[in-house]
Structure 1
């Protein structure tokens, strides 16, 4: 009783609640219908919502509606059952059907009479009470009961409550009570609590034992509303828009303040659920959908007056739990604490001097507010035109000056107003500096980072072409370089290392770093506040390989804006009470890092059991996903109950099996899914891993899936094709073998025949060889004859020339000249015949394409030898009156006639040479008759035998000339015939017969 009394009196203390952000969901953005009549969380971490159009499962990113049951009534009400036993049930209107939610999936199940919460007992209506809705109505003509695990409380008569234990034993409890007082009851940990708002008493009944609490409290306050839901064992107390959650053990209950929500009475709220794992309060309405309040331990302090400027850059810690801004406003985490008359100043630079006075820059002057006057008295000191900033780092006071073309940094060991001990000139504007050792100073400029040594004029560039915004030394003496749009760097051991960005590159414009007691850095930026383990950054600085996992806080976590502010001076602080303070574009953000939770998914709560194939509806699968051969794409959903900012969900997936992929980042959005496409048929394993702790630990989950092959991709098809190919190859080999056998047999016959032919050829070759030998002998003897015939005329000509040279007789010289001329002429004719013979002997074409008249050849040769014959007293007569045509090679025929006529002219003196041509159907005959010396019968026989029998050895040509021998060879060449006969009384007749065919 004393504990209760003490507790209830404390409830009236002024309590500052958590901040919150509100997100509404309705039919426009996830719900199938704008009612949320009951809310519960299952053992797997998913939120279930009962609506008038089915049941909805919520995982923090997407809503999945289940309303395709084979029932007609989809109007569902409250949940009953036990989530820890994986048994949540819901009845539809009029208790027609029962749905059980088990293993993350709802299905229709058998409805038993014991499941009904409304029934008739005798003549009375009986109603089971499983929740106490804010606007619930109870009637005195209905009997109500509360079913606990092993007992029952019945409200059957006025001023009487009946308790029945598990054995059926009844205990009647008398107290002033009517059914309308059921609006103020709740059950917590199997203990029934009844609040009497008139008498301001609270009754607790534990297993039939009544205890009366007579102290006034929020429980029995007339302005209190009670919401109780049995299935979640949660009771909410709502008083003056403050929402509390009942906690404790047994009868020893307390109230945990959740939030002050001024709109709690503005909507018809019908259900409530608090998710302590993610610090969210779910409020369900009858017609406006679901309202999710994200409770926050971040506090934003700002001026609430109209048209107030809440953009702050510089500030100073003022007390153990407050700060002061450049306009004199003192802020605590709950807002404005006090206002000092600082007036209007530049809001970028503030600093304490050695006496605790506050220095604030105003254009080219410094305003000093004296501590001993309560910061009411001030003075102003003009520094210098072009004065840009002042700053203290280590034991150095620094200020910068600029004339828009160059910049100077003044450093002093005394104070800002003293003459500088060191002056350094820079071509770019100086933004900040930091003393990191006794004589070493880092200077951040608009175009890079520089190092200077006190007492020396040397300025050493460390990093150029970046805009250094600030240089921060954390309490562990690490130096961090913050840049504008180039990320941030660690300067350690005179080595500069760029830190990795976050996934969205928001840390490209990081502002300030604070370190908490647990080894985490808090980094403000232009887009959110980041938390990261310090050891991850330092490990990355060692080898640039270890991953860094940033956790990002945004407006969803309680800020008014995601944009924080930076300055060349320190502008984020750790107050004496442990609170961190960061300036933003809309007020100062206060928080205690120990109370700010980071949310990571439970390592056991990752489920891969849904797939969407092509454009079809999502479907469930168990253990193995079997994809058909004609699938195009398959979206495998990754269900993770995660109710915080999805940007902090690190999840990756890869496929291994017939084909392999590398780890891929899963895009976080409305749905988490991994898309399969263009994979070859086969068996695969999908591996999904998610980050489950800030130290980089991953939890991995695997699932098997198989892609069915087309018929031509199956093993059976391949084996069948292989067998068919093997059979075809065997048949081809057999046919080839048979063919080769036949071919071999034929080749043997051919070889036999070829052997016979070769034998004949050998014999022929012997004949040819013999002929070639004779031809060679002929050529040899021909050359001998030519040499003999040429030598004699040349010797004769040489002899005559000698005599011509020695003689002085003119007549005799004339005679010698005539003999030389005739000998030369004879030699010329001889060489001419030799050339013509050589060319004709090599000729291959023995027939002309077009025929020509032989008469033309006779006439030409007659004219050629006519004068020579006259000198010998001989006449040449052409008796060919008819034209006879031939296809025989004209040159060969001309050579034959030339030589025969030449011989006739040489051997005929004072005689006659007759030329004639006759023809019949088979032959054309050329006749040359002379009355010269003629030929003996022996000579005629020799030449005829030479013509008719070419195997006869060619006799020596020496002394016999070349003409007839050449003629015989040419006649043979053109397949003609030649005949010699004597002409009576003297001379010779030569006949050449040309075949017309």
Structure 2
């Protein structure tokens, strides 16, 4: 254990914590301090905002937030919301916070620090409206001070009063009171002296003996001590000065001139010192000369009974914050409005029309005089029985004429009372409900009726009674006032009229159709202000009728009347509170609207200041529909009737707190997590969900006066039309999701009255791009698209080229086919021509021969040469049979070639086929003395079409016999392997040989031409038989080979059967 710890372990821990307590905040109470005479008391506990009920320290930072030290966290209060910093949202071990104090480091004296549980050595820096853990804030800085280096380790450091150090009083030896300056100066208070250390230099000690360390306090940079005898000592350079208490505390009957019963509360963070005595709290301030001044700020509140441990007074807002160590936070709020009521029942305090009754009182139409004592400010009232008797119900019209007499409307009757209201002078029944009565500038009293129109009466000649002035259109009159001496403004339930009292004419004001006029206020002849049912405030001026936007809760839709104070502000009571509006703002809006400029932003930039009953009303519901409604008294007060009393106030003293504070970006919540916003740039993750931005605005007025709107702009600047309202009860902005990209979130707040009096907060929001949204992805995609387009174009070009080639091929094929077809047609024509020629030769010649021979028969018969005739007959028979066979063969060919008859391939016995055909030519062969030999094996078969092969064999035999005379014809068959003329050694051959007349070279070439070279055209010297041989051999796939040596050899070559 070190020497420091051995002296006083418990106090040593306290010293480590209290080292942060450097304090006094100059200037907070330099503003004028005034008493909170009437107040609203609000208590906050763990049931309505606080995390725990022990408030041990209260401090206000320079941004306007109030900070509370509790056993369960450091709490920030912005006037409407509590936010707790604890170990769940900060990286600290313990949530217990014991004090909030100024930094001990001189250069950051405006920065507040909060210390957590003793011994943890954890500190939270309060700056820019948020608290963060500060690991660099070193407690050890105090131990480097000269006083500590001298060995005075058991030194306590001031943390304000009261203090938890009271329990350690018996052990106190030294008490350090830090100053707020650039040098880290501090006082060391001992039991017999006080020593100032400045710039680490020890000044001469000032002798001062005391046993009460905890009565030292600072005001500014001046050290004071409040002694038990009631004397206050001020410490100067080398001496002390004894001061006496002056001011309001001397009026307290419990004050005995000593400290007896007096408790001192010192808020060293905000440089505020208070004295408490007998339920009265006083501010202690520097006085002139040899005294200290006390000023009462609140009475009738028992601080001791509520265990108040810390006090902070917000002077501009007249709010007193009281921290209790057992009961949470109490907030006492000044009520600037005073409500005057009588002790009578509820209905008795329902007020409408009123008229001034002296300097400090009014007379209501119900016969009650209400006012306040000029000196004591206490409410005073008086009943007028004569008035009360006659006017129990109709309270909506009263006036005082130039003679001081009192006129009151009473249903369908008009009553006249004397100036004191004690005697009824006269009364007139008009036969219709009186709606309003009004005293004009010329002294006449104008009376508006429900059905009969506009009447008047002259108070100086009242005996004549009310007279009809004008009835046309003027029904359901709701308000009457003067525009000029000769022009009245008459409001009705259906519009506004100007009435000329000289010409007795009325002019309807265009733009007020179907408008229920509630009240009219003439500021100037060209600036006439109207309140109308549902439409709120309207201006009748040089630009016609201008209707102003309603407030955000539409309370102004039920505005009653307009009263202007001396500072150019309108006070407008409504059914739900009271409004204060700057007239110049409305005129500026009207001028902008008349010029046709965009008004979207102007609508939201009109500031209407709102007051509710927390400010002193007994109800938010003011009364209207009466004349007069608002009343300006000679004592400076404005008086408005309400459902519970008359509301009085002095406009200059009731301006209200304006929301002029900054906008602080507090935290962002998304995906069920919360993160502090430490800079003006927020980076969100991919595809964030349920995104909520929370903001804080330090403002201690009504939340209805917080007017905030936002605009979310993606990659651009905001426009006037982009603003959206934000709920003032919860200043947050919610997005269910945010897509990728860069955003700017604009938050706009009205700071109060005046043109362009706004604060705009900008938050840059960055949401990462999805992979397909990144630049490199887009680049790759672009390149792929370009490549795809390129490949597609190439594919299309290739396809087109391919199609072109196919088309070209097709065209070429078609052309070739056409050419072939044409060639075939030409060939067929030639063939047909040749066939005809051959037929003419091969058929007509035999017929001519038969004809010539047959003519010889008759001659031979006459000669008796019957043998010759028989021979000729046989020749004719043979010739006709040959012609018949020729024609048959030709027809068979035509069927196969022209008509496409199907070939019938089957095994054919060659020897039988040849011998069958030879029988046809036997006689002819004998006639030509030709020898025919057949050498065909008996078992030799070929696979072919019998009919077509028979035609070939027939024609080959016919040609052999025809061109051979006295010769030899040989018909042989066998295997092609026996021949040298073939390439296929496995096929069969059939050869017809003769030694007759040889073939011409043309015929020889025709017969040997390859079958694949196309259909053979008949040569000019080829007979029909030769043509059929060649063509039919092609049809039945038999190769034909002709050789010619000493003999002519026709080979039929059959391929091996498959």
Give the shorter-chain TM-score range: 0.5 to 0.7
**In the alignment, is the contact (CA less than 8 A) between 1:400 and 1:407 conserved in 2?**
no
Q: Which residue of 2 aligns with 1:130?
A: 159
Residue 353 (str. 1) matches residue 353 (str. 2): no
Residue 99 (str. 1) matches residue 118 (str. 2): no
Deviations 1:331-352 (A, max 9, x none): 1284423525345134322221
Rounded to whole Å, the distance in 1 between the matches of 2:464 and 2:543 is 31
**In the alignment, is the contact (CA less than 8 A) between 1:682 and 1:708 conserved in 2?**
yes
Residue 179 (str. 1) matches residue 212 (str. 2): yes
Matches within 5 A, 1:181-260: 182-183=214-215, 185-198=216-229, 200-214=230-244, 218=249, 222-248=260-286, 254-260=293-299
Residue 716 (str. 1) matches residue 797 (str. 2): no
Rounded to whole Å, the distance in 2 between the matches of 1:290 and 1:241 is 17
Q: Which residue of 1 aligns with 2:914?
A: none
Residue 379 (str. 1) matches residue 440 (str. 2): no
Deviations 1:607-627 (A, max 9, x none): 225211132234334342222
Question: C-alpha displacement at 1:53, in angstroms?
Answer: 0.4
Query: Which residue of 576, 584, 609 maps to 1:551?
Result: 609
Matches within 5 A, 1:512-523: 512-523=561-572
Q: Which residue of 1 aligns with 2:867?
A: none
Question: C-alpha displacement at 1:79, in angstroms?
Answer: 1.9
Against the structure 1 CA distance between its residues 683 and 765, is the aligned structure 2 distance closer, same or farther, given a 3 Å change threshold?
A: farther
Question: C-alpha displacement at 1:147, in angstroms?
Answer: 1.7
Rounded to whole Å, the distance in 2 between the matches of 1:769 and 1:315 is 133
**In the alignment, is the contact (CA less than 8 A) between 2:36 and 2:335 conserved in 1?**
no
Q: SS at 2:726's partner residue?
A: coil
Q: Which residue of 1 aligns with 2:486?
A: 439
Against the structure 1 CA distance between its residues 667 and 731, is the aligned structure 2 distance closer, same or farther, given a 3 Å change threshold?
A: closer
**In the alignment, is the contact (CA less than 8 A) between 1:613 and 1:633 conserved in 2?**
yes
Question: C-alpha displacement at 1:728, in angstroms?
Answer: 4.2
Query: Which residue of 298, 319, 331 maps to 2:371?
Result: 331
Q: SS at 1:630's partner residue?
A: coil
Rounded to whole Å, the distance in 1 between the matches of 2:338 and 2:523 is 24
Q: Which residue of 2 aligns with 1:163?
A: 195
**In the alignment, is the contact (CA less than 8 A) between 1:88 and 1:102 conserved in 2?**
yes
Question: C-alpha displacement at 1:447, in angstroms?
Answer: 3.4
Deviations 1:854-902 (A, max 9, x none): xxxxxxxxxxxxxxxxxxxxxxxxxxxxxxxxxxxxxxxxxxxxxxxxx
Query: Which residue of 507, 517, 526 maps to 1:468?
Result: 517
**In the alignment, is the contact (CA less than 8 A) between 1:360 and 1:366 conserved in 2?**
yes
**In the alignment, is the contact (CA less than 8 A) between 2:669 and 2:675 conserved in 1?**
yes
Q: SS at 1:232's partner residue?
A: coil
**In the alignment, is the contact (CA less than 8 A) between 1:412 and 1:422 conserved in 2?**
no
Q: Which residue of 2 aligns with 1:612?
A: 669
Question: C-alpha displacement at 1:300, in angstroms?
Answer: 2.3
Matches within 5 A, 1:902-941: none
Rounded to whole Å, the distance in 1 between the matches of 2:37 and 2:713 is 47
Question: C-alpha displacement at 1:67, in angstroms?
Answer: 0.8
Residue 663 (str. 1) matches residue 717 (str. 2): no
Deviations 1:13-60 (A, max 9, x none): x99744322222221222111222111122333221110001112222
Deviations 1:634-666 (A, max 9, x none): 212223222222222222221223478753334
Q: SS at 1:309's partner residue?
A: helix
Residue 654 (str. 1) matches residue 675 (str. 2): no
Question: C-alpha displacement at 1:432, in angstroms?
Answer: 2.7
Q: SS at 1:43's partner residue?
A: coil
Deviations 1:416-457 (A, max 9, x none): 654446433367433332232333222223333333332556
Deviations 1:738-770 (A, max 9, x none): 555555555444343333334456678999999
Matches within 5 A, 1:7-46: 17-46=36-65
Residue 639 (str. 1) matches residue 696 (str. 2): yes
Q: Which residue of 2 aligns with 1:77?
A: 98
Question: C-alpha displacement at 1:507, in angstroms?
Answer: 0.9
Against the structure 1 CA distance between its residues 543 and 126, is the aligned structure 2 distance closer, same or farther, given a 3 Å change threshold?
A: closer
Question: C-alpha displacement at 1:106, in angstroms?
Answer: 2.5
Q: SS at 2:132's partner residue?
A: strand
Larger deviation: 273-282 or 473-482?
473-482
Rounded to whole Å, the distance in 2 between the matches of 1:700 and 1:123 is 52
**In the alignment, is the contact (CA less than 8 A) between 1:245 and 1:258 conserved in 2?**
yes
Rounded to whole Å, the distance in 2 between the matches of 1:276 and 1:328 is 37
Q: Which residue of 1 aligns with 2:139?
A: 112
Against the structure 1 CA distance between its residues 98 and 134, is the aligned structure 2 distance closer, same or farther, given a 3 Å change threshold?
A: closer
Matches within 5 A, 1:354-369: 354-362=402-410
Against the structure 1 CA distance between its residues 225 and 506, is the aligned structure 2 distance closer, same or farther, given a 3 Å change threshold?
A: same
Rounded to whole Å, the distance in 2 between the matches of 1:711 and 1:408 is 78
Rounded to whole Å, the distance in 2 between the matches of 1:515 and 1:434 is 16
Against the structure 1 CA distance between its residues 676 and 85, is the aligned structure 2 distance closer, same or farther, given a 3 Å change threshold?
A: farther
Residue 626 (str. 1) matches residue 672 (str. 2): no
Larger deviation: 529-538 or 211-220?
211-220
Against the structure 1 CA distance between its residues 207 and 329, is the aligned structure 2 distance closer, same or farther, given a 3 Å change threshold?
A: farther
Against the structure 1 CA distance between its residues 263 and 461, is the aligned structure 2 distance closer, same or farther, given a 3 Å change threshold?
A: farther
**In the alignment, is the contact (CA less than 8 A) between 2:361 and 2:369 conserved in 1?**
no
Q: SS at 1:94's partner residue?
A: coil
Rounded to whole Å, the distance in 2 between the matches of 1:634 and 1:155 is 54
Rounded to whole Å, the distance in 1 between the matches of 2:708 and 2:304 is 40
Question: C-alpha displacement at 1:81, in angstroms?
Answer: 1.7
Query: Which residue of 592, 605, 622 maps to 1:564?
Result: 622
Against the structure 1 CA distance between its residues 322 and 208, is the aligned structure 2 distance closer, same or farther, given a 3 Å change threshold?
A: farther
**In the alignment, is the contact (CA less than 8 A) between 2:206 and 2:239 conserved in 1?**
no
Against the structure 1 CA distance between its residues 709 and 70, is the aligned structure 2 distance closer, same or farther, given a 3 Å change threshold?
A: closer
Rounded to whole Å, the distance in 1 between the matches of 2:551 and 2:681 is 36
Question: C-alpha displacement at 1:729, in angstroms?
Answer: 4.2
Q: SS at 2:242's partner residue?
A: strand
Rounded to whole Å, the distance in 1 between the matches of 2:552 and 2:791 is 65
**In the alignment, is the contact (CA less than 8 A) between 2:398 and 2:628 conserved in 1?**
no
Rounded to whole Å, the distance in 2 between the matches of 1:53 and 1:256 is 35
Q: SS at 2:342's partner residue?
A: coil
Larger deviation: 24-33 or 317-326?
317-326
**In the alignment, is the contact (CA less than 8 A) between 1:98 and 1:111 conserved in 2?**
no
Against the structure 1 CA distance between its residues 123 and 437, is the aligned structure 2 distance closer, same or farther, given a 3 Å change threshold?
A: closer
**In the alignment, is the contact (CA less than 8 A) between 1:274 and 1:282 conserved in 2?**
yes
**In the alignment, is the contact (CA less than 8 A) between 2:68 and 2:100 conserved in 1?**
no
Question: C-alpha displacement at 1:92, in angstroms?
Answer: 3.0
Rounded to whole Å, the distance in 2 between the matches of 1:108 and 1:215 is 42
Q: SS at 2:118's partner residue?
A: helix
Q: Mind listing any 5+ residue stretches in structure 1 that lack a counterpart?
A: 1-13, 771-997
Query: Which residue of 817, 832, 848 maps to 1:757?
Result: 817
Q: Which residue of 1 aligns with 2:590?
A: 541
Question: C-alpha displacement at 1:726, in angstroms?
Answer: 3.7
Rounded to whole Å, the distance in 2 between the matches of 1:330 and 1:282 is 34
Query: Which residue of 745, 750, 759 maps to 1:691?
Result: 750
Rounded to whole Å, the distance in 2 between the matches of 1:743 and 1:214 is 116
Rounded to whole Å, the distance in 2 between the matches of 1:205 and 1:304 is 54
Query: Which residue of 655, 666, 669 maps to 1:597?
Result: 655
Residue 498 (str. 1) matches residue 517 (str. 2): no
Rounded to whole Å, the distance in 2 between the matches of 1:704 and 1:227 is 45
Q: Which residue of 2 aligns with 1:484?
A: 533
Question: C-alpha displacement at 1:107, in angstroms?
Answer: 0.7
Question: C-alpha displacement at 1:359, in angstroms?
Answer: 3.5
Matches within 5 A, 1:663-682: 663-682=722-741
Q: How many residues align?
A: 745
Q: Mind listing any 5+ residue stretches in structure 2 that lack a counterpart?
A: 1-32, 251-256, 594-598, 831-1058
**In the alignment, is the contact (CA less than 8 A) between 1:422 and 1:455 conserved in 2?**
no
**In the alignment, is the contact (CA less than 8 A) between 1:151 and 1:163 conserved in 2?**
no
